[in-house]
Structure 1
Amino acid sequence: MKTRGQLQRRFYPLWFAFPALAVYFIFFIFPNLMSFVFAFTDWNSNNMKSMTFNGLHNFRFLFSDPIFGRAVLNTLTFTFVTVVFTNAFGFLMALGVNMKLKTTNFLRTVFFAPYMLSTIVTGLVFGAIYNPQHGILNAFLRFVHLDFLTREWLVNAKTALLAVCAMEIWQGMGFAMVIILAGLQTINKEYHEAAYIDGAGYFQRLRAITIPLVAQSLIVSGLLSMVSGMKVFGQIYVLTNGGPMDRTQVIATSIFKYFGSGLFGYSSAMGLVFTVIVTAASIAILSVTRKLEVEM
């Protein structure tokens, strides 16, 4: 039987963890559990004190809501575009800064710096860049006599979502570079030296050695980019607020829109479906990438 002193020493560290656990439960676990309950009610701003259980009514209405359907499609499109290009550019930058250059440390800092900026600040900067009259992008296109390419980038329904994607890629590729660079630096140089002696060129070594050995870092970076893309909110809210005509509406902004309109139960149902989509996508991508890693 343990003495009182032994019990105190055993549970002593828990007293230090308790404040953090309490905050985590109050501001994360409890709200998520309550949102799960509210998803099956008609709770809204008109019946704050008399909400009733309505079963699957919110979900039936949700899957027939054209705005939610477009939001899902836009979210998936945004995620696919940003994951592919963020990690592609991050991989190229990691290869560049992994070389022995005098400016390597400077370049690493410059490439990673955009990730440290606030999404709001970045959104305001890109909003000015995309300005159709005074923005740098259209001014540059006019300067090089490519006036036919100028657009109202954030108002044009065909370019608005891609314009937001470009901002996310610019801000996130430095973070992808850091993760992939960590993987590159774990590769034993003797592998490349042996392949070089055997006559393998740079791209042959890249395909046969570098990519397979850095696959784990690419998977981690891809998954983080995917989760970030699925949860996109600030970028859309600052640049387009879901416009024009809901062409850039994503799941997170739709939840915010309906919650702000007082449809608390309906927005909770949307949040629950959103959670299921992100979880399912993460599991599916992780299983596929693990198989690819084994094949490599």
Structure 2
Amino acid sequence: MKSKSTFRYPLVFIIPSLALYVLMFMFPTVSGFYYSFTDWSAYSESVRFIGLENYYRLFTESVLLTSIRNTLLYAVFVTIFVNIFGLGLALMLNERMRLGHFYRTAFYIPVVIAPLIVGYIFTSIYHPENGILNQFLKASGLNFLAVDWLNDSRYALFSIICTEIWRSSGFAMVIYLAGLKGIPKDMLEQASVDGAGAWSKFRNVIFPLLAPAFTVNFLLTVIHSLKVFETVLVLTNGGPGYDTEVFNTLIFRNFSRGNWGYATAAGFILTILISVIAIFFLRILRKREVDM
């Protein structure tokens, strides 16, 4: 029979962690869900329960649909191209090459730079008059491509997407590199002996064995993209107009205006959206891993 001290020993580690989880995650989540059904704001001393009024306002205002569209467009393009570039870099750096460690470090450095700093850097790069990008285009004789990247509604969201692809591709690269290191070399050698070319080896050997790495990268990129905030805030602040408004800038804008109950309702909708999309893709990608 186990002594009381043996039984209590694990609780010494479990209880503090559980208390911190309840305090920092469960309590804010539950209280936030409650306040989304109230008129909680900076303009009233009392908090009244108003039912689904905040959600009704959200779904009847065009700005929510605009933010959903922009968030989903951003997530789709960032997820696709971050994984394409990350996989391409990993395949390139997996080969023996001079300065391989230097290139890995160089490609990964953008990941560790804070999104706010990246936003300020690219604000300078995209500047219509003094930005490096437009100066380069003009010096190359491509004046017609030198546009106002952040204040023209035709290019603003595209510019934000390109910024995030540059910042996040290195993270995907590291995960794909780890997956490539786990592929047995004798399988690749056997494929070469059987006459398989580079594309055939990639399609039939490498990519199927990278399924776990692809699942991790895809899900992390989707979730991170749907939560985009700092980069958009610094580069465009949701503008021009609402052309680059995303879910988190909508939430931030209403919190800063004191519409706390309304903003909390928008945050809860974002939580549901991320959860549904993540679970949907997780089921598909897990099934793909099993089938392979």
TM-score grouping bracket, smaller chain normalisation: over 0.9
User: Equivalent residue for 1:59?
Assistant: 55
Quote the offset at 1:256 in angstroms. Answer: 0.8
Q: Which among 197, 207, 213 is matched to residue 193 of structure 2?
A: 197
1:159, distance to aligned residue in structure 2 (A) = 0.7
Name the counterpart of 2:69: 73
Q: Letter of the 1:44 partner, please give it.
A: S
1:245 to 226, 232, 241: 241
Tell me the secondary structure at the aligned position of residue 60 of structure 2. coil
Specify the alignment match of 1:23 in structure 2. 20
Q: Deviations over 1:201-244 (max 9, x none)?
A: 11111111011110210111010000000000111111111110
Q: What is the CA–CA distance in structure 1 between the aligned matches of 2:252 and 2:76, rounded to whole Å?
A: 22
* Shift, 1:27, TM fit: 2.5
Structure-2 residue corresponding to 1:11: 8
Per the TM alignment, residue 292 of structure 1 is displaced from its structure 2 partner at its CA by 3.2
Q: Gaps spanning 5+ residues in structure 1: where?
A: none
Moved more, 121-130 or 50-59: 50-59
Q: Distance in 2 between matches of 1:168 and 1:21?
A: 35
What letter corresponds to residue 157 of structure 2 in structure 1? L
Percentage of matched positions with identical amino acids: 39
Return the alpha-carbon distance in structure 2 between the equivalents of residues 167 and 178 of structure 1. 19
- Post-superposition offset of 1:194: 0.8
Counterpart in the other structure of 2:264: 268
Alignment counterpart, residue 125 of structure 2, candidates 129, 134, 142: 129
Aligned to 1:171: 167
Q: Which residue of 1 aligns with 2:35?
A: 38
Secondary structure, in 3 states, of the residue corresponding to 1:63? helix
Query: Partner of 2:78 in structure 1?
Result: 82
1-side partners of 2:18 and 2:147: how far apart? Answer: 50
1:16-58 superposed Cα distances (whole Å, 9 cap, x missing partner): 454444333223221111000001111111223x221111111
Shift of 1:264: 1.2
| Structure-1 residue corresponding to 2:214 | 218
Q: Indicate the larger mover: 110-119 or 23-32.
A: 23-32
Instruction: Provide the rounded CA distance (Å) in 2 between the counterparts of 1:256 and 1:20.
Output: 30
**What code does the residue aligned with 2:12 have?**
W
Match of 1:47 in 2: 44
Which of 252, 268, 277 is 1:256 aligned to? 252
**Using the alignment, how far apart are the partners of 1:85 and 1:119 within structure 2?**
18
Deviations 1:263-293 (A, max 9, x none): 1111111111111100000011112223333
Structure 2: tracts of 5 or more residues without a match: none
CA distance in 2, matches of 1:22, 1:238: 35
What's the CA shift for 1:173?
0.5
User: Which of 134, 138, 144 in structure 1 is aligned with 2:140?
Assistant: 144
TM-score (norm 1): 0.95
Give the superposition deviation at 1:96.
0.8
Q: Secondary structure at the match of 1:232?
A: coil
Q: Secondary structure, in 3 states, of the residue corresponding to 1:105?
A: helix
Distance 2:285 2:17 in 1: 34
Distance 1:277 1:101 in 2: 43
RMSD over aligned Cα atoms: 1.4
Question: Residue deviations 1:48-98, cap 9 Å, x none?
Answer: 3x2211111111111111111100110001100100000100000000111
**CA–CA separation in structure 1 for the residues paired with 2:205 and 2:148:** 45
- The one-character-per-residue Cα deviations of 1:185-210 (angstroms, maximum 9, x if unpaired) are 11111111111111111111111101
Q: Deviations over 1:166-200 (max 9, x none)?
A: 11111100000011111111111111111111111
How does the TM-score come out when normalised to structure 2?
Answer: 0.96
SS of equivalent to 2:130? coil
Residue of structure 2 equivalent to 1:181: 177
